[in-house]
């Protein structure tokens, strides 16, 4: 069977390793609308695609394993708008569906990690022009969840207190507590789950409830915000800090639980912002999907910088983006498939220098390849290097010493074998190269796919 290995070279600087190399890993040509982590195995993600009006085909729900590149179709003939998995009762997954190309709008739910599915939208009123466009599970109690409806005649907010068996309308539209708009975003305070935030399309309101939706107060009303609020993210380490994403107006941040808001778009040139995620390992590290670009912030959204995805991909828009902490990847769902990029290879003591200056790695060649990969190394001084192959659990699976002379090159090759001449299984591995006995190192992430 053919084996393909994709290489991404990363440099460790200030405790985090980053690569600007994106790889399209699956669902080529499909419109990936929503992503969620499989909570009991963060190497697995759920990906939902939308319907294609030009080809008159419906979307699907997939389960994709980042480590071994395994893709399984788990639900067909749907058009997916949102996916929510729960970290408390990790077997529960909700999927929001829109009506398109003869597909049915509503909510389906799995209690067994996506193996079986049932409809779970009893109590939600859906006319032929409306769909489920947002979902959120209470991070502390999986019995509670929230669903946002949008359609030609407006929208509504629903909540469930019994894991989706029955939904009730939690927005008193007639009294103006939630404007009659599409309900496009929810967030639940992880420390005080009675506090719920909701965002709307159209005028882009943000509302806050202190009692799980029994009453609402408008906390953001800046007039017409282009296409409205499409995402709300709460800092789990400081729940007073909240980010809101407005499609067409970028990011706004509150540091006092929604009492006041400041624009936070320094460095963002494309304001067609769509989706935001927070690094579970570092709440100041954010990633933002906006048009053809992915932006990152390392200071809690004060400043942003764009990476190179938009220069290597022409045409497709980024619908959704998220971190996968276990596999150290950023994952993008685009109008042309599923893309991944390296985030962090290892966290180390910031008090020492971690970028080696005595040698330099070049790009791996050939790439892609079937059996053997080679990494050119240039030595700036006489040096002995330690080369280790590390799996995602942190276990060293192979290591050896190599020697080089000043101003000479060295071609290190690895045929995907361990010390017992046994081939490695499919998966993601880290090649760590450092001067023998030193803390300074450079890493290469290798994705072995059989």
Give the model confidence (pLDDT) of 204-220 as tens digits: 889 999 999 988 989 99
Q: Note the helical H segments in 27-79.
A: none
* pLDDT at res. 317: 80
Q: In degrees rounded to 5, what are phi and psi of residue 356? A: -70, 135
* pLDDT at res. 202: 77
β-sheet bridge partners, residue 68: none
117-143 CB burial, b ≥16 within 10 A, e <16: beebbeebebeeebbbbbbbbbbeebb
- The CA angle 423-367-441, to the nearest 5 degrees, is 75
Sequence-ordered strand ranges (E) for 282-325? 282-290, 293-297, 305-306, 318-324
* pLDDT at res. 224: 52
| pLDDT-flagged residues of the chain (< 70) | 1-21, 39-40, 42, 87-90, 172-177, 179-180, 223-227, 307-316, 325-327, 343-358, 361-370, 391-395, 406-407, 427-428, 437-441, 443, 445-446, 449-450
- Burial class of residue 294, CB neighbours in 10 A (0-12, 13-18, 19+): buried
Domains of the chain: 20-342 (2.130.10.10), 359-449 (2.60.40.150)
Rounded alpha-carbon distances, angstroms, from residue 115 to 39, 93, 324, 342: 14, 10, 21, 29
Which two tokens mark 161? 């207190």
Q: What is the distance between the alpha carbons of residues 267 and 262, in angstroms, rounded to a whole number?
A: 15
What pTM did the predictor assign?
A: 0.72
* pLDDT at res. 87: 67
* pLDDT at res. 281: 81
Q: Note the helical H segments in 50-190.
A: none
């Amino acid at each position: 069977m053919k084996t393909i290995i994709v290489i991404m070279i990363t440099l460790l600087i200030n405790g985090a390793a980053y690569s600007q190399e994106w790889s399209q890993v699956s669902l080529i040509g499909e419109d990936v609308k929503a992503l969620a982590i499989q909570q009991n195995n963060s190497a697995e993600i759920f990906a939902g695609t939308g319907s294609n009006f030009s080809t008159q085909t419906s979307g699907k729900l997939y389960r994709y394993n980042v480590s071994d590149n395994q893709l399984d179709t788990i639900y067909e003939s749907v058009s997916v708008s949102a996916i929510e998995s729960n970290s408390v009762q990790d077997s529960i997954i909700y999927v929001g569906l829109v009506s398109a190309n003869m597909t049915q709008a509503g909510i389906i739910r799995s209690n067994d990690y996506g193996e079986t599915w049932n409809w779970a939208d009893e109590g939600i009123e859906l006319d032929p022009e409306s769909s489920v466009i947002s979902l959120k599970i209470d991070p502390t109690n999986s019995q509670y969840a929230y669903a946002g409806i949008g359609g030609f005649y407006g929208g509504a907010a629903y909540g469930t207190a019994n894991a989706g068996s029955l939904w009730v309308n939690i927005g008193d539209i007639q009294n103006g507590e939630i404007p009659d708009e599409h309900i496009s975003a929810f967030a639940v305070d992880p420390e005080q789950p009675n506090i719920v935030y909701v965002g709307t399309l159209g005028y882009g309101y943000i509302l806050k409830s202190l009692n799980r939706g029994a009453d609402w107060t408008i906390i953001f009303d800046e007039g017409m915000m282009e296409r409205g609020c499409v995402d709300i993210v709460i800092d789990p380490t400081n729940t007073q800090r909240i980010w809101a994403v407005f499609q067409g107006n970028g990011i706004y941040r509150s540091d006092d639980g929604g009492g006041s808001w400041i624009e936070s778009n320094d460095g963002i040139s494309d304001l067609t912002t769509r989706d935001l995620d927070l690094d579970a390992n570092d709440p100041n590290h954010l990633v933002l999907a906006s048009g053809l670009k992915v932006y990152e912030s390392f200071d809690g959204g004060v400043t942003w910088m764009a990476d190179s995805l938009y220069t290597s991909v022409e045409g497709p828009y980024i619908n959704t983006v998220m971190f996968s902490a276990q596999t150290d990847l950023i994952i993008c769902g685009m109008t042309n498939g599923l893309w991944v990029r390296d985030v962090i290879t290892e966290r180390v003591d910031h008090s020492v220098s971690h970028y080696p200056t005595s040698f330099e790695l070049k790009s791996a060649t050939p790439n892609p390849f079937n059996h053997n990969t080679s990494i050119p190394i240039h030595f700036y001084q006489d040096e002995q290097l330690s080369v280790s192959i590390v799996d995602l659990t942190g276990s060293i699976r192979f290591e050896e010493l190599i020697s080089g002379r000043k101003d000479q090159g060295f071609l290190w090759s690895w045929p995907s074998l361990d010390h017992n001449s046994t081939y490695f299984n499919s998966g993601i591995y880290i090649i760590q190269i450092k001067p023998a006995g030193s803390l300074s190192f450079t890493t290469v992430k290798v994705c072995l796919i059989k």
